Protein backbone atom coordinates (compact mmCIF):
# COMPACT_ATOMS: atom_id res chain seq x y z
CA UNK A 1 0.00 0.00 0.00
CA UNK A 2 2.73 2.35 1.02
CA UNK A 3 4.41 1.51 -2.25
CA UNK A 4 1.44 2.67 -4.26
CA UNK A 5 1.06 5.81 -2.15
CA UNK A 6 4.69 6.65 -2.69
CA UNK A 7 4.39 5.95 -6.37
CA UNK A 8 1.40 8.26 -6.73
CA UNK A 9 3.16 10.91 -4.68
CA UNK A 10 6.19 10.51 -6.95
CA UNK A 11 4.03 10.85 -10.02
CA UNK A 12 2.65 14.10 -8.67
CA UNK A 13 6.08 15.53 -7.85
CA UNK A 14 7.20 14.30 -11.24
CA UNK A 15 4.37 15.97 -13.07
CA UNK A 16 5.30 19.27 -11.41
CA UNK A 17 8.85 18.79 -12.62
CA UNK A 18 7.54 17.83 -16.04
CA UNK A 19 5.54 21.04 -16.16
CA UNK A 20 8.69 23.11 -15.52
CA UNK A 21 10.80 20.90 -17.75
CA UNK A 22 8.40 21.50 -20.63
CA UNK A 23 9.10 25.21 -20.36
CA UNK A 24 12.83 24.61 -20.37
CA UNK A 25 12.78 22.15 -23.19
CA UNK A 26 10.55 24.21 -25.48
CA UNK A 27 12.60 27.36 -25.01
CA UNK A 28 15.76 25.33 -25.41
CA UNK A 29 14.53 23.65 -28.54
CA UNK A 30 13.26 26.78 -30.21
CA UNK A 31 15.31 29.72 -28.95
CA UNK A 32 18.41 27.52 -28.44
CA UNK A 33 19.06 28.93 -25.02
CA UNK A 34 19.11 27.70 -21.46
CA UNK A 35 16.61 30.00 -19.77
CA UNK A 36 18.10 30.04 -16.31
CA UNK A 37 15.40 32.42 -15.10
CA UNK A 38 12.64 29.95 -15.81
CA UNK A 39 12.63 28.63 -12.24
CA UNK A 40 12.14 32.15 -10.93
CA UNK A 41 9.08 32.68 -13.08
CA UNK A 42 7.53 29.92 -10.95
CA UNK A 43 8.37 31.95 -7.89
CA UNK A 44 6.74 35.04 -9.38
CA UNK A 45 3.69 32.93 -10.14
CA UNK A 46 3.65 31.84 -6.52
CA UNK A 47 3.76 35.43 -5.27
CA UNK A 48 1.03 36.41 -7.69
CA UNK A 49 -1.21 33.71 -6.26
CA UNK A 50 -0.37 35.06 -2.81
CA UNK A 51 -1.24 38.61 -3.85
CA UNK A 52 -4.42 37.43 -5.55
CA UNK A 53 -5.52 35.51 -2.48
CA UNK A 54 -4.84 38.48 -0.23
CA UNK A 55 -6.75 40.87 -2.47
CA UNK A 56 -9.66 38.78 -3.69
CA UNK A 57 -9.61 35.69 -1.52
CA UNK A 58 -10.74 33.64 -4.50
CA UNK A 59 -8.23 30.92 -5.45
CA UNK A 60 -9.42 30.60 -9.04
CA UNK A 61 -9.26 34.33 -9.80
CA UNK A 62 -5.85 34.61 -8.20
CA UNK A 63 -4.59 31.62 -10.15
CA UNK A 64 -5.78 33.06 -13.45
CA UNK A 65 -4.12 36.36 -12.51
CA UNK A 66 -0.92 34.43 -11.79
CA UNK A 67 -0.97 32.67 -15.16
CA UNK A 68 -1.55 35.93 -17.00
CA UNK A 69 1.15 37.82 -15.16
CA UNK A 70 3.66 34.98 -15.71
CA UNK A 71 2.90 35.02 -19.43
CA UNK A 72 3.41 38.78 -19.55
CA UNK A 73 6.60 38.44 -17.52
CA UNK A 74 7.94 35.73 -19.83
CA UNK A 75 7.27 37.80 -22.93
CA UNK A 76 8.83 40.88 -21.33
CA UNK A 77 11.97 39.04 -20.29
CA UNK A 78 12.36 37.62 -23.76
CA UNK A 79 11.84 40.98 -25.41
CA UNK A 80 14.11 43.04 -23.17
CA UNK A 81 16.85 40.67 -22.14
CA UNK A 82 17.12 37.90 -24.70
CA UNK A 83 16.02 39.36 -28.02
CA UNK A 84 18.87 41.90 -28.29
CA UNK A 85 21.26 38.99 -27.90
CA UNK A 86 19.86 36.86 -30.67
CA UNK A 87 22.81 35.81 -32.76
CA UNK A 88 25.31 36.57 -29.99
CA UNK A 89 27.40 33.95 -28.24
CA UNK A 90 25.18 31.45 -26.39
CA UNK A 91 27.27 31.98 -23.30
CA UNK A 92 26.33 35.66 -23.26
CA UNK A 93 22.67 34.68 -23.37
CA UNK A 94 23.20 32.23 -20.53
CA UNK A 95 24.85 34.88 -18.38
CA UNK A 96 22.03 37.31 -19.10
CA UNK A 97 19.55 34.65 -18.08
CA UNK A 98 21.45 34.22 -14.83
CA UNK A 99 21.27 37.99 -14.37
CA UNK A 100 17.51 37.93 -14.93
CA UNK A 101 17.23 35.14 -12.40
CA UNK A 102 19.07 37.19 -9.77
CA UNK A 103 16.99 40.22 -10.68
CA UNK A 104 13.68 38.41 -10.17
CA UNK A 105 14.82 36.88 -6.90
CA UNK A 106 16.08 40.13 -5.44
CA UNK A 107 13.07 42.11 -6.67
CA UNK A 108 10.75 39.62 -4.97
CA UNK A 109 12.76 39.95 -1.78
CA UNK A 110 12.61 43.74 -2.03
CA UNK A 111 8.85 43.75 -2.45
CA UNK A 112 7.77 40.93 -0.17
CA UNK A 113 10.62 40.75 2.32
CA UNK A 114 12.84 37.81 3.03
CA UNK A 115 10.59 35.99 5.52
CA UNK A 116 8.68 33.10 3.90
CA UNK A 117 4.96 33.65 3.37
CA UNK A 118 2.43 30.98 4.21
CA UNK A 119 -0.01 30.52 1.38
CA UNK A 120 -2.94 28.18 1.73
CA UNK A 121 -4.47 27.92 -1.70
CA UNK A 122 -7.34 25.67 -0.76
CA UNK A 123 -7.61 22.90 1.73
CA UNK A 124 -8.72 19.96 -0.33
CA UNK A 125 -8.26 17.25 2.28
CA UNK A 126 -7.58 13.72 1.24
CA UNK A 127 -9.56 10.76 0.08
CA UNK A 128 -9.08 7.15 1.01
CA UNK A 129 -10.36 4.00 -0.59
CA UNK A 130 -9.43 0.36 -0.11
CA UNK A 131 -6.70 1.23 2.35
CA UNK A 132 -5.06 3.96 0.26
CA UNK A 133 -4.90 7.50 1.54
CA UNK A 134 -4.16 10.05 -1.12
CA UNK A 135 -4.30 13.81 -0.69
CA UNK A 136 -6.62 15.41 -3.21
CA UNK A 137 -4.01 17.94 -4.35
CA UNK A 138 -1.92 15.02 -5.61
CA UNK A 139 -4.77 13.90 -7.82
CA UNK A 140 -5.48 17.45 -8.98
CA UNK A 141 -1.81 17.86 -9.91
CA UNK A 142 -1.77 14.60 -11.79
CA UNK A 143 -4.98 15.19 -13.71
CA UNK A 144 -4.11 18.78 -14.63
CA UNK A 145 -0.65 17.73 -15.84
CA UNK A 146 -1.99 14.95 -18.02
CA UNK A 147 -4.52 17.30 -19.59
CA UNK A 148 -1.88 19.98 -20.20
CA UNK A 149 0.64 17.59 -21.68
CA UNK A 150 -1.87 16.03 -24.06
CA UNK A 151 -3.10 19.47 -25.13
CA UNK A 152 0.42 20.71 -25.67
CA UNK A 153 1.41 17.67 -27.73
CA UNK A 154 -1.67 18.07 -29.91
CA UNK A 155 -1.05 21.80 -30.22
CA UNK A 156 2.50 21.34 -31.44
CA UNK A 157 1.56 18.55 -33.78
CA UNK A 158 -1.61 19.79 -35.39
CA UNK A 159 -1.79 23.59 -35.35
CA UNK A 160 -0.14 25.98 -37.74
CA UNK A 161 1.72 27.69 -34.90
CA UNK A 162 2.84 24.34 -33.51
CA UNK A 163 4.24 23.26 -36.83
CA UNK A 164 5.93 26.62 -37.21
CA UNK A 165 7.55 25.96 -33.82
CA UNK A 166 8.97 22.68 -35.07
CA UNK A 167 10.25 24.42 -38.18
CA UNK A 168 11.95 27.16 -36.15
CA UNK A 169 13.57 24.60 -33.88
CA UNK A 170 14.93 22.72 -36.89
CA UNK A 171 16.35 25.70 -38.72
CA UNK A 172 15.67 29.29 -37.80
CA UNK A 173 17.01 30.74 -41.04
CA UNK A 174 15.10 28.40 -43.29
CA UNK A 175 11.92 28.93 -41.30
CA UNK A 176 12.29 32.68 -41.75
CA UNK A 177 12.72 32.24 -45.50
CA UNK A 178 9.51 30.20 -45.54
CA UNK A 179 7.71 33.24 -44.17
CA UNK A 180 7.53 32.27 -40.53
CA UNK A 181 7.82 35.16 -38.10
CA UNK A 182 10.58 33.72 -35.92
CA UNK A 183 10.34 36.43 -33.28
CA UNK A 184 6.65 35.80 -32.88
CA UNK A 185 7.15 32.04 -32.56
CA UNK A 186 9.84 32.50 -29.93
CA UNK A 187 7.55 34.91 -28.08
CA UNK A 188 4.73 32.36 -28.10
CA UNK A 189 7.13 29.72 -26.83
CA UNK A 190 8.14 31.90 -23.91
CA UNK A 191 4.48 32.66 -23.22
CA UNK A 192 3.58 28.97 -23.10
CA UNK A 193 6.60 28.10 -20.99
CA UNK A 194 5.86 30.86 -18.49
CA UNK A 195 2.19 29.92 -18.33
CA UNK A 196 3.21 26.37 -17.47
CA UNK A 197 5.52 27.78 -14.81
CA UNK A 198 2.49 29.39 -13.13
CA UNK A 199 0.83 25.97 -13.03
CA UNK A 200 3.96 24.53 -11.48
CA UNK A 201 3.89 27.33 -8.90
CA UNK A 202 0.31 26.43 -7.99
CA UNK A 203 1.15 22.73 -7.66
CA UNK A 204 4.12 23.50 -5.46
CA UNK A 205 2.11 25.77 -3.17
CA UNK A 206 -0.61 23.13 -2.85
CA UNK A 207 2.06 20.68 -1.75
CA UNK A 208 3.78 22.90 0.78
CA UNK A 209 2.47 26.36 1.57
CA UNK A 210 5.80 28.04 2.32
CA UNK A 211 6.64 30.71 -0.26
CA UNK A 212 10.00 32.46 -0.47
CA UNK A 213 12.03 34.12 -3.19
CA UNK A 214 14.05 30.97 -3.86
CA UNK A 215 10.96 28.84 -4.35
CA UNK A 216 11.79 28.12 -7.96
CA UNK A 217 15.57 27.87 -7.84
CA UNK A 218 16.18 24.23 -6.93
CA UNK A 219 13.05 22.84 -8.63
CA UNK A 220 14.15 24.78 -11.70
CA UNK A 221 17.57 23.13 -11.72
CA UNK A 222 16.01 19.72 -11.11
CA UNK A 223 13.47 20.26 -13.86
CA UNK A 224 16.22 21.21 -16.28
CA UNK A 225 18.02 18.07 -15.19
CA UNK A 226 14.86 16.11 -16.00
CA UNK A 227 14.64 17.78 -19.38
CA UNK A 228 18.23 16.79 -20.10
CA UNK A 229 17.64 13.24 -18.90
CA UNK A 230 14.66 12.95 -21.22
CA UNK A 231 16.52 14.57 -24.08
CA UNK A 232 16.48 18.33 -24.37
CA UNK A 233 14.23 19.66 -27.10
CA UNK A 234 11.90 16.70 -26.95
CA UNK A 235 8.46 17.28 -25.41
CA UNK A 236 7.77 13.63 -24.53
CA UNK A 237 11.34 13.51 -23.23
CA UNK A 238 10.65 16.33 -20.78
CA UNK A 239 7.57 14.54 -19.49
CA UNK A 240 9.36 11.23 -19.15
CA UNK A 241 12.38 12.83 -17.48
CA UNK A 242 10.20 14.82 -15.08
CA UNK A 243 8.12 11.82 -14.03
CA UNK A 244 11.24 9.70 -13.63
CA UNK A 245 12.85 12.35 -11.46
CA UNK A 246 9.75 12.72 -9.30
CA UNK A 247 9.34 8.99 -8.71
CA UNK A 248 13.00 8.62 -7.83
CA UNK A 249 12.72 11.54 -5.44
CA UNK A 250 9.62 10.17 -3.73
CA UNK A 251 11.14 6.74 -3.20
CA UNK A 252 14.51 8.08 -2.17
CA UNK A 253 12.86 10.27 0.48
CA UNK A 254 11.07 7.23 1.87
CA UNK A 255 14.27 5.31 2.64
CA UNK A 256 15.86 6.86 5.75
CA UNK A 257 19.40 5.78 4.91
CA UNK A 258 19.55 7.63 1.63
CA UNK A 259 16.94 10.33 2.19
CA UNK A 260 19.47 13.12 2.95
CA UNK A 261 21.28 12.29 -0.28
CA UNK A 262 18.18 12.57 -2.47
CA UNK A 263 19.49 15.54 -4.46
CA UNK A 264 22.84 13.87 -4.92
CA UNK A 265 21.19 10.68 -6.16
CA UNK A 266 19.09 12.56 -8.67
CA UNK A 267 22.12 14.37 -10.04
CA UNK A 268 24.14 11.17 -10.11
CA UNK A 269 21.46 9.54 -12.21
CA UNK A 270 21.68 12.48 -14.61
CA UNK A 271 25.42 12.03 -14.97
CA UNK A 272 25.12 8.28 -15.51
CA UNK A 273 22.36 8.61 -18.09
CA UNK A 274 24.28 11.26 -20.01
CA UNK A 275 27.40 9.15 -20.02
CA UNK A 276 25.53 6.16 -21.35
CA UNK A 277 23.40 8.12 -23.78
CA UNK A 278 24.84 11.60 -24.35
CA UNK A 279 21.63 12.90 -25.92
CA UNK A 280 19.29 11.85 -23.12
CA UNK A 281 16.73 9.09 -23.28
CA UNK A 282 14.61 10.41 -26.13
CA UNK A 283 17.01 12.97 -27.58
CA UNK A 284 17.84 12.99 -31.23
CA UNK A 285 21.35 12.92 -32.48
CA UNK A 286 22.35 15.79 -34.61
CA UNK A 287 25.55 15.20 -36.40
CA UNK A 288 28.22 17.45 -37.62
CA UNK A 289 29.15 16.87 -41.21
CA UNK A 290 32.80 16.20 -41.80
Task: Tell me which residues touch another protein (CB under 8 A).
Answer: 28-29, 32, 34, 81, 84-92, 94-96, 98-103, 105-107, 109-110, 113-114, 169, 221, 224-225, 228, 232-233, 260-261, 263-264, 267-268, 270-271, 274-275, 278-279, 283-290
* Residue nearer to another protein on the CB measure, 21 or 142: 21
3-state secondary structure of 270: helix
CA 127 to chain centre: 28
* Residue nearer to another protein on the CB measure, 154 or 264: 264
Q: Determine the Cα angle at 235 with ends 234 and 236, to 5°.
A: 95
Q: For residue 112, count other CB atoms closer than 10 A to its CB.
A: 16
| Residue 226 and residue 18 in contact, taking contact as beta carbons nearer than 8 Å | yes
Partners of 129 in the β-ladder: 132
* Residue nearer to another protein on the CB measure, 16 or 35: 35
3-state secondary structure of 129: strand
* Residue nearer to another protein on the CB measure, 143 or 259: 259
Nearest approach, Cβ of residue 279 and another protein (Å)? 6
Nearest approach, Cβ of residue 108 and another protein (Å)? 9
* Residue nearer to another protein on the CB measure, 160 or 289: 289
Nearest approach, Cβ of residue 19 and another protein (Å)? 19
Q: For residue 30, count other CB atoms closer than 10 A to its CB.
A: 25
Nearest approach, Cβ of residue 26 and another protein (Å)? 13
Quick one: residue 280, left, alpha or beta (phi over 0 = left, psi -120 to 50 = alpha)?
A: left
Number of H helices, E strands in the chain: 11, 4
Compute the distance between CA of residue 25 and CA of residue 29 in angstroms, rounded to an integer. Answer: 6
Nearest approach, Cβ of residue 60 and another protein (Å)? 32
* Residue nearer to another protein on the CB measure, 11 or 222: 222
Compute the distance between CA of residue 119 and CA of residue 55 in angstroms, rounded to an integer. Answer: 13
* Residue nearer to another protein on the CB measure, 42 or 93: 93
For residue 153, count CB atoms less than 10 angstroms from its CB and return exposed for 0-12, middle for 13-18, buried for 19 or more.
middle
Nearest approach, Cβ of residue 132 and another protein (Å)? 32
Compute the distance between CA of residue 9 and CA of residue 134 in angstroms, rounded to an integer. Answer: 8
Nearest approach, Cβ of residue 262 and another protein (Å)? 8
Amino acid sequence: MEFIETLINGLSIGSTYAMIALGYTMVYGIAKMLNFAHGDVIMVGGYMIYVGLTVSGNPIISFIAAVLSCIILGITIEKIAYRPLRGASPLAVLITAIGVSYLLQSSAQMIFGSAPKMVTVADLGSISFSGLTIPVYVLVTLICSVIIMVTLSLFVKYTRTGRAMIAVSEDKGAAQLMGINVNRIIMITFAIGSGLAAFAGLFMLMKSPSLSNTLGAMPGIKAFTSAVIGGVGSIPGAMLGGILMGVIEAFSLKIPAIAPYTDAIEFLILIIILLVKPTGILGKKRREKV
